[in-house]
Amino acid sequence: MSDIDQDIQELRARLKEGSIRNAYKGIVSYMARLRSALAEQHGPRQVSGMYQGYLDITHFAFFPEPLKERDLKLTVLFNFETFTFEVWLTARNREVGKRYWGLLRESGYNQHPLLEPAVGNVAIVKAILSDDFSLADEARLTEQLTQGLLVFEREIVASLSAVDAR
């Protein structure tokens, strides 16, 4: 039996237990509700559709106007590898991403990790919004994530405004 066939058999057995399926559904459903809450709270700002992922990340994009003007966006995600809610500053394309990565690096930006442009990496800056959470208190988690997102947005916009005259 090939490695992939063994992995599929293991996945099948684990899914029969039920807890993995329930946890995954809970996280993905919560991300959909978080996306809806942000869309309701920030009317003129656009929120993209949600990408469910392959048990790697589940995410959606958030387009604050000062970032959208620069072809940038915030990607709000759940990272299944690290089990964290995160926000990434991302760009419309690699060229834009490299430009802003360079501007932030040259400015000495150090509030959050800068991620060097590379194949497969779309993030310019990333921040963890929560690494210790409970879906049982969804209102508290949503407040924590939305407040963290807005603080990150303000910090990024201020840093970009200082290095990118628009």
Q: Which domain holds residue 28?
A: 3-163
Radius of gyration of the chain (CA): 18
- pLDDT tens column, 67-117: 999 999 999 999 999 999 999 999 999 999 999 999 999 999 999 999 988
Tokens of 106: 């040259």
pLDDT, position 113: 93
d(CA 83, CA 17): 21
pLDDT, position 165: 62
pLDDT, position 1: 74
Tokens of 103: 């501007």
d(CA 86, CA 46): 19
What is the DSSP code string of 55-122? SSEEEEEEE-HHHHTTTEEEEEEEETTTTEEEEEEEESSHHHHHHHHHHHHHHT--SS-B---BTTB-
Give per-residue burial for 63-83: e unless 16+ CB within 10 Å, then b: bbeebeebebbbbbbbbeeee
Average pLDDT over residues 13-31: 91
pLDDT, position 44: 46
Surface-to-core class of residue 6, CB atoms within 10 Å of its CB (0-12 exposed, 13-18 middle, 19+ buried): exposed
Tokens of 4: 């992939």
Count of domains for the chain: 1
Confidence category of residue 15, pLDDT binned at 50, 70, 90: confident
